[in-house]
Structure 1
């Protein structure tokens, strides 16, 4: 049984073409977003403003906006049957994606302590992105990503295997950095405390936006392992949005705290 969305396409080739177009469109939107963010910070978190719509509770916003990135892929995997989704390489890449969004949608929102409300517009755009990207990534990996059955075990594919292993290791490193950095941020304030503090420990000793560095690394690794325009588009879009936010955070920290570590970089350790 296939997904209801498949009725929109007369053939698998048509749907594959649409998925490719979706990936290239995401790259185009990344370029447009890059230009926009040169002039304006994304309006959520510490930059939150009612200028972009009514405010949504932080926990509720995170849960609702991230949920499509988890729920839609789960539905696609349950409803759709394909030989591709039984192959080891495809399964591992799907597992990377699902591991991140299981934590991001079902665990992370309920660990948030406080948090400023999110304006409706960035909240809505996040819902759209998570739905769009969730369909594109999982539909491609479960039906169209063409990795030979023994791709990750056959020595004949040593070059592809090396890229897959390197990308997977990079994904794991980024995921762990992201989780640890979020843990540090959650525990900056003690019971009853408010206001901002300088984050310390882990990758925060080197960069102001350790959590963003981790997530960018994570999806860069996913793209290296996946070797597709779909995973690359996701990595590019993530890098554009989070790097802009990282530099904004860095400037904000330097302006707010006189004792902020001057050797700490914004996003990439020892470089920028």
Structure 2
């Protein structure tokens, strides 16, 4: 992305400036991603080797909220840089993380007999 940002230097600026929106979306993504990774790190005690269903934060709605916030990070990047390549990176990352979260929820369904049915893979109430 840095290479393409350098290549478009000197081109006309976009008609609508999304840089400030991008910074806000990026910061929300970083904070949300950090918080949910923190919750995951506290899931097991020192000697606990078993699997658990994560709780707290957005884990009550989606099984991979850290992926959701990572997607927001990529969307924030793309709004800040405003290049076609960054938008394509955001779309590609979204598709990859969506597929991973669907695989993860299928794994949870296979490992746990009691799994909340209202919990979605990536997007609350949708997927």
Give TM class, smaller chain: 0.7 to 0.9
* Higher percent of residues as helix: 1
Specify the alignment match of 2:33 in structure 1: 178
The higher-RCO structure (CA 8 Å, 6+ apart) is: 2
- Paired residue for 1:159, among 3, 16, 40? 16
Whether the 8 Å contact between 1:208 and 1:266 is mirrored in structure 2 is yes
| Residue in 2 that maps onto 1:15 | none
TM-score normalised by the chain length of structure 2: 0.86
In the alignment, structure 1 residue 140 sits paired with structure 2 residue 4:
yes
> Which of 209, 215, 221 is residue 76 of structure 2 equivalent to?
221
Bigger Cα Rg: 1
Contact 1:168-1:221 within 8 A present in 2 as well: yes
Runs of at least 5 residues in structure 1 that lack an aligned partner in the other structure: 1-136, 152-156
CA distance in 2, matches of 1:213, 1:182: 12
Q: 1:147 to 1:269 in 2, by over 3 A?
A: farther
- In 1, the alpha carbon distance for the partners of 2:92 and 2:16 equals 27
Unaligned runs of 5+ in 2: none
Matched residue count: 126
1:168 aligns with 2:32: no
Tell whether the 8 Å contact from 1:177 to 1:203 is kept in structure 2 after alignment: no
Q: Following TM superposition, by how much is the alpha carbon of 1:252 offset from its aligned partner in structure 2, in angstroms?
A: 1.4
Change (3 A) 1:147 1:249: farther
> 8 Å contact 1:220–1:232 — kept in the other structure?
yes
**Runs of 4+ off more than 4 Å:** none
